[in-house]
Amino acid sequence: MQRRRFIKNTTTAVVALGVARNTTAQTPNRPNILWLTCEDNNINWVGCYGNPHANTPNIDQLAAEGFQYMHAFASAPVCAPSRSTWITGINAISMGTHPMRSRYDIPHNLIKYYPDHLKANGYHVGNDKKTDYNIGGRPDKECWDNPGKVDWNALKQNQPFFQVINSTQSHESKAFGDVDKTEHDPADTKLRAYHPDVPDMRKNYAHYHDAMKKMDAEIGASLQSLENAGLAGNTIVIHNSDHGGVLPRSKRYIFGSGIHCPLIIRIPKMYKHLWPTKKPGMEVDRLVSFVDMPKTWLNITGSKVPGYMQGKIFLGPHTEPEREFHFAFRGRMDERIENARTVCDKQFLYIRNYMPYTPWMQHLNYLWKMVATQAWVKQVDSGKASEIEARFFKPKGWTEEFYDMHQDPDNVDNLIDNPEYAQVIGRMRAGLRSWQEQIHDSGLLPESEMVKRAADNNTTIYEMVRNPKLYNLSALLDAADLALEQKPENLPALEKLLKSLDGGRRYWGVVGCFLLDDQPAGFQCMEDDSHEVRAMAAWLLIRTGEKKKGFQCLKNLLEENSYATLSVLNILDWLGDESKELIPTVQSIKCTNYEARLQEYLLTKFGFITPVP
């Protein structure tokens, strides 16, 4: 493919700057920015990142003309929390906006969106047109001058500009549908180590390669439009995905496949002072977190950077020291409750599972539409799957995971007990705890308790978790650590937690007792003020033989329209066939949103309704 001649157009672009309606003689050097985002793909789907089977010529060419970041990581492995982090420059887990599609309020009087700061600096800001910021209290489109389709003629007259264009061609939904008529050859791909090598899996890989090719073409079209408008010479171009993915066990998961993303930045010669390496076409070795991006975009445009932003500037005149670790988080994904954190550097990845008793792969109505997911499930159910392939459908068992991403890019060989890595694991554990305290990790309460506590105190989650009287994070982290140790000698301390005035500490107390099968704790907590504590107590009783009392407790929660209903429905699924006696109760209750999705699945699973083809 012919190399783009964007540097050649610099003189023309500078002249254009001089006549642009909104540009003054005092600010001729402020760059335009074109941010070309896409969805749901990790580095393994892009040619310039080493996949010989990928067909992404426009992105590869952009890397040849720009700077290719080799260690860029999403803060969350799914769109809404990731974009919530982007728009504010604050980790979603720090605001309570980490559960998928939740839209909880933040204090908008304290927190502006990064386009607000760009506008204050004279930038015209446009977004074509994905938002999905997962934040309540403010319309997503309000922060943009043009929240719709990009108008290149208008951009020429409104420089400097910051324009986002999002391609949806690589979204997870594009991996759905017929996989039998692909342009890409199913044999011409490399399967991940955890995926069974069966025809439908290979076909779905090929189907998504086709989607990536279409996305790449849209990136190419945007670059051509930029050049046709005579704007390439004074516009910085940024390309990246919003998180990793997309085949099962990538998107939504905080393994490398869910968070390690392409990031390419092309910087015209007139802004050579911003180049992160000696010349274009080079790889950049710096560790970059997605939370760094808004702060960096403000920096390279000369805009004011608010003090509440949590990232590190990785490009421009005020570049900050490189971060030692990247941190990512996982909360509820659609109808499935989860809670985990990741720490990684350029080689190693550490995961802390706050729910080690749940499977990695849980049925999600949306994900199960994919042929690849169905093929994987069929292989497991038939007993033909290997140990690695079958593992992800079983309860994790591991509180901690540790992987060498160089030697094990698919993250299947857990080295957490290998003494050779004890020192780096210790640093990552300590780094995670420090980060959680620094950013006010809001995920140490179950989602429903987090929301209820904020509402009861007439405050936002963001403000609540910064008030130690309402949310004692250090105490909650200590309680969680104690619970997850799973040591019988900790029972006296766990029983003490059960008597705490703080429902969050009681929750971790009952989780610890659950992991140790301490039946008396179940009886003690059946009438707890916290519905989440009651649900865990009921499950504890069921698994230790007191099924009648445990199921009655769960039934009571369902019938009283508990705020923990989603947790109860998840528990019923985790219990398997044992929970069938409660399915008539599940059928009788009124559910909405994600509760309704799980209700439908349970009713289908147990034969109470006929599955839709």
- 271: tokens are 């802004």
Predicted confidence (pLDDT) per residue in 532-555, tens digit: 999 999 999 999 999 999 999 999
pLDDT the model gives residue 20: 33
pLDDT the model gives residue 10: 38
Is 407 inside a domain boundary? no
- 219: tokens are 């990136």
Count CA within 13 A, CB hemisphere, residue 100.
21
pLDDT the model gives residue 323: 98
pLDDT at 117 > cutoff 90: yes
pLDDT the model gives residue 246: 97
pLDDT the model gives residue 16: 34
Predicted confidence (pLDDT) per residue in 341-391, tens digit: 999 999 999 999 999 999 999 999 999 999 999 999 999 999 999 999 999
Q: Pick from 270, 296, 316: which residue ends a domain?
A: 316
Of the listed ranges 10-24, 45-59, 148-162, 489-503, the least confidently predicted one is 10-24
Domain tally, the chain: 2
Could you tell me the pLDDT band of residue 48, with boundaries at 50, 70 and 90? very high
Is 342 inside a domain boundary? no
Predicted confidence (pLDDT) per residue in 77-93, tens digit: 999 999 999 999 999 99
Predicted confidence (pLDDT) per residue in 29-44, tens digit: 899 999 999 999 999 9
The C-alpha R_g of the chain, in whole angstroms, comes to: 25
pLDDT the model gives residue 4: 40
Is 177 inside a domain boundary? yes
- Range of the structural domain that residue 304 is part of: 7-316
pLDDT at 17 > cutoff 90: no
pLDDT at 24 > cutoff 70: no
pLDDT the model gives residue 609: 87
Q: Pick from 278, 299, 316: which residue ends a domain?
A: 316
Higher pLDDT, residue 610 or 36: 36
- First-residue to last-residue Cα distance in the chain: 44
Could you tell me the pLDDT band of residue 613, with boundaries at 50, 70 and 90? low
Is 576 inside a domain boundary? yes
- 94: tokens are 């720090």
Q: Which long-range contacts (CB under 8 A, 24 or more apart) does 16-20 make?
A: 16/156, 16/159, 16/230, 16/231, 16/234, 17/159, 17/234, 20/156, 20/157, 20/158, 20/159
- 409: tokens are 């890019």
In contact, 342 and 350? CB cutoff 8 Å? yes
pLDDT the model gives residue 548: 97
pLDDT at 14 > cutoff 60: no
Predicted confidence (pLDDT) per residue in 600-609, tens digit: 999 999 999 8
pLDDT at 5 > cutoff 50: no
Question: How much is the mean pLDDT over the chain?
Answer: 95
In contact, 370 and 204? CB cutoff 8 Å? yes
pLDDT at 25 > cutoff 50: no
Q: How many helices (H) and strands (E) does the chain have?
A: 22, 13
Could you tell me the pLDDT band of residue 2, with boundaries at 50, 70 and 90? very low
Predicted confidence (pLDDT) per residue in 125-137, tens digit: 999 999 999 999 9
pLDDT at 226 > cutoff 90: yes
Q: Pick from 290, 316, 342: which residue ends a domain?
A: 316
- 230: tokens are 């005579």
Predicted confidence (pLDDT) per residue in 388-409, tens digit: 999 999 999 999 999 999 999 9
Is 156 inside a domain boundary? yes
Of the candidates 339, 442, 338, 340, the one whose C-alpha atom is nearest the C-alpha of residue 106 is 442
List, as one string, the DSSP characters of 518-585: -HHHHHHHTT-S-HHHHHHHHHHHHHTT-HHHHHHHHHHHHHTT-TTHHHHHHHHHHHGGGGGGGHHH
457 and 308 both lie in a single domain: no
Is 367 inside a domain boundary? no
Predicted confidence (pLDDT) per residue in 283-322, tens digit: 999 999 999 999 999 999 999 999 999 999 999 989 999 9
Q: What mean pLDDT comes out for the span 269-286?
A: 97
Is 386 inside a domain boundary? no
CATH number, domain containing residue 512: 1.25.10
pLDDT the model gives residue 252: 98
Of the candidates 442, 477, 447, the one whose C-alpha atom is nearest the C-alpha of residue 462 is 442
Could you give the CA distance from residue 75 to residue 56 in angstroms, rounded to a whole number?
25
pLDDT at 6 > cutoff 50: no
Going by the DSSP 8-state scheme, the letter that residue 92 receives in this structure is: G
Q: How far is CA 70 from CA 240, 259, 261, 316, 585, in A?
A: 12, 13, 8, 18, 51
460 and 312 both lie in a single domain: no
147 and 295 both lie in a single domain: yes
309 and 450 both lie in a single domain: no
CATH number, domain containing residue 83: 3.40.720.10
Is 540 inside a domain boundary? yes
Could you tell me the pLDDT band of residue 124, with boundaries at 50, 70 and 90? very high
147 and 292 both lie in a single domain: yes
Going by the DSSP 8-state scheme, the letter that residue 609 receives in this structure is: S
